[in-house]
Structure formats: C-alpha cells, structure tokens
Amino acid sequence: MTTYESILHPKSLVDQLVKNDVTHVVWLPDSETNFLYELMNDTPTLDLIPVCREGETMAVAAGLWVGGKKPVVLIQNTGIFESGDSIRGLGLDINQPLVMLIGYRGWSRRGPTPDSAAVYIEHHLHTWGINYYLIESDADADRISIAIEEAYRTNKPVGVLVGTEFGSD
Amino acid sequence: MINNTEAVKLLNSKRENSVIVATMNAGNARFGLPTVSSNDSLDVPLSGAMGKAGNFALGVALANPDRKVMCLDGDGSLLMNLGTMVTVANKAVKNMYHFVFDNGAYCVTGGQPVPGAGIVDWKAMGDAAGYAATFSFENLEDLVTGIDEVFAAEGPVFIRLAVDKEIENTPVQFRERPRRTMKDAIIELPKALS
C-alpha cells in the first residue's frame, strides 16, 4: 500500500510562486487560505493585492502583466463563477498567460460531493477550454510550476484547483 | 456640462508619458480619446469586461510606479463594479488618476438612465472609498483651471467630470470601429513602456 503525505502546506505553494518569479498575488480569501495569507504576507518578493470581488482579479492581473510583472490569481471556485466576463474579455481574448489558483470548495475523494460549487467547477473550466491541474498535497505542488510554464508557453489562462485545506506550517 | 471631446483633449494635453486606459464614451472612436490622442501607443481602449477599467489601470500603475496612469471610466461601467474604488484606494497607488465621465446614461445602448443618475455623489463616494484626493468639475472652464491641481496631487486621485450625453443610436454593426483594439494595445503597450 502506498502512503503519502496528504497535507498541503502553504510553504509548498509559496515556494512554487517564488521559484517561478511570481511578483503579485491578486486575491480574495477563501475559507481555506488563512495560513497561506500569513505566509504570503511575510514573503518579501510577493505583493498581495486584495480585491472586493473575484472578477476584478483577472483585470488587475492583466494590467500587471502588460506592465511587465508576473501575477497569479488566487480565489475560490465560487469566484470563478462570478468572473466569467473577466475571464473571457481580459483572460482568453487578450491571450493573458494567467495562472488561476482556485480553492476547490466542496471537493472530496470520499463519498458524494453535494456542494454545487464543486459539482460545476470542472465543467465550467472545460466550457472555457481552460486546462487545469489538481493539487491536494505537498507532493502535487510542482504542478503549479507546470501550470505557470504552460500558461506562458500557450498564452492562455491555466487553472490550479486546490483540493484540500492548507495545513499550518 | 463638459463636452466629451474637450475633456479628453485637455487630459491628453496634460499626459506627458502617462498611460491612459479609456473605456465607454471616453474611448469612443468618433469623439473620445482616439480622436485626440498624441501617443496612442500608450493608450488602452479597454473593452471586453465592462466595469474593469479601474482594475486594469491599477495593475498598470502598480507595475510602473514612476509613470502616471489615467483611467477614464464611465459612470455606468463603474457602477457595475463599485468595489474597484475600494480596491484602488486600498493599494494607495500614488501614480493613478481615476476619472469618471458622469453623463448619467448608458450612452452606447441608446441613452437609458443609469441607476442613481443625478443622485449619486461621486466625489463623496471617492472620499468614502479612501482615495487620497478627490475632485468634481461641472464645466470646462473649471476643469481647465483646476486640472494642474489634480495632477499635482498624490494619488490615488478620483475625479468626477460632469459630461454631456453623447448617445449612440446607430445600430452597432454600422458604428465606426476603433482603429486600435484592446488586442493591439496589449501587444504595443509593453514595447512603449520599455
């Protein structure tokens, strides 16, 4: 039987951002990211940009990107549903290499998934033609690097679904 | 009331090396910024996500702190995304100048009134959101007199301009198309900034 470390520590995610020279995290907190927030705040190379509504994130990121910076977006899956016109107009239409870290609220490998936020999110990304990766533990964290590389190679938004709560460091 | 073209002409004359993000009537192909711009490689005719011009301008301003960034917003578009005022003010970007062209109407769809037309106090909203300075101008003479004070202020600055309604009633497919698109700007702006 294979065993593995099933916790996703915030440091694993932040290490990936730092390693890939990410400059800004445009974000709106979700229910699972408080430890991550504290760590990002303490990381001098990352500038956090809080927004009031998730659809703002793609637009702020577009301005940063065209201005020469390397942002990512960090929101919950519910925020993706709210952000449709921004993803279309300021992500896909302008070929923004936008990595969206998406809290996968409702995701579970065990039993049914009654939360419609989880039920619909992958269908939603498929509809947009947005490729995505799932991370659930520290062992998956390098998929963030894969997503960033893919976004800049294809000039398209790429999703990273964060399918677990962050542990504390 | 301020004529739309006179407003963008005056702002363009004060731009120096500013980036100007213009949307709705301020970016109109017949009477907006494209008709008067002296450096369109630094213009962003923002379309594609109504209400997000301020957010895009914030990103450009954060990425280029030594360069002024003007956002020429519409009242209808800003009403779609009022939270952006708080988002901008919260980042305290010293180089951002957020203008709202207040004509009280959705001019590109035939002139229907926006919610709160004639009631909303935009300057008070800018103050309440936390902008470092706010201004409101009712006529061109006052704008001409006061514009240097606007650009002397440290940002983020919020400026409400009472502008004429210039209503589009021509069917969309027959309207004049902008010479430069958002996609053009996305390709050209990084080169212009460097």
Rounded to an integer, the average pLDDT of A106-115 is 87
B4-193 is a CATH 3.40.50.970 domain? yes
pLDDT confidence of residue B175:
85
b or e along A55-64 (b: 16 or more beta carbons within 10 Å of the residue's beta carbon)?
bbbbbbbbbb
**CA–CA gap between residue A51 and residue B62 (Å, rounded):** 14
B38, amino acid identity: S
Q: Kindly list the domain boundaries of chain B, sorted by start residue.
A: 4-193
In this prediction, residue B22 has a pLDDT band, given cuts at 50, 70 and 90, of very high
Tell me if chain A has a CB within 8 Å of the CB of B49.
yes
CA of A47, closest CA in chain B: separation in Å?
Answer: 10
Q: What is the pLDDT of residues B72-125, one digit of tens each?
A: 999 999 999 999 999 999 999 999 999 999 999 998 888 899 999 999 999 999
CA of A135, closest CA in chain B: separation in Å?
Answer: 28
Rounded to an integer, the average pLDDT of A90-104 is 96
Name the token pair of B64: 């280029």
Question: Tokens 């107009």 map to which residue?
Answer: A89
CA atoms within a 13 Å half-sphere pointing along the CA-CB vector of A79: 25
Tell me if chain B has a CB within 8 Å of the CB of A53.
yes
Q: Do A62 and B59 touch (CB under 8 A)?
A: yes
Report CA torsion sign: B43, B41, B49, A158: negative
Q: Do A62 and B56 touch (CB under 8 A)?
A: yes
Q: Do A64 and B183 touch (CB under 8 A)?
A: no
Q: Of residues B170 and B15, which shows the higher confidence score?
A: B15
Contact A80, A121 (CB under 8 A): yes
Q: Which of A9, A120, A21 is nearest to A70 (CA)?
A: A21
Q: What is the pLDDT of residues B55-77, one digit of tens each?
A: 999 999 999 999 999 999 999 99
Q: Please give the share of chain A, as a percent, with pLDDT higher than 90.
A: 80
Mean pLDDT (chain A) is 92
pLDDT confidence of residue B163:
97
Report CA torsion sign: A32, A33, A38, A43: positive
pLDDT confidence of residue A5:
54
Tell me if chain A has a CB within 8 Å of the CB of B56.
yes
**CA–CA gap between residue B55 and residue B87 (Å, rounded):** 8
In this prediction, residue A1 has a pLDDT band, given cuts at 50, 70 and 90, of very low
Rounded to an integer, the average pLDDT of A30-51 is 88
Q: Do A59 and B63 touch (CB under 8 A)?
A: no
pLDDT confidence of residue A168:
67
Q: What is the pLDDT of residues B156-174, one digit of tens each?
A: 999 999 999 988 888 888 8
Rounded to an integer, the average pLDDT of A113-140 is 95
Rounded to an integer, the average pLDDT of B147-162 is 98
Contact list, A50 vs chain B (CB under 8 Å): 87, 90
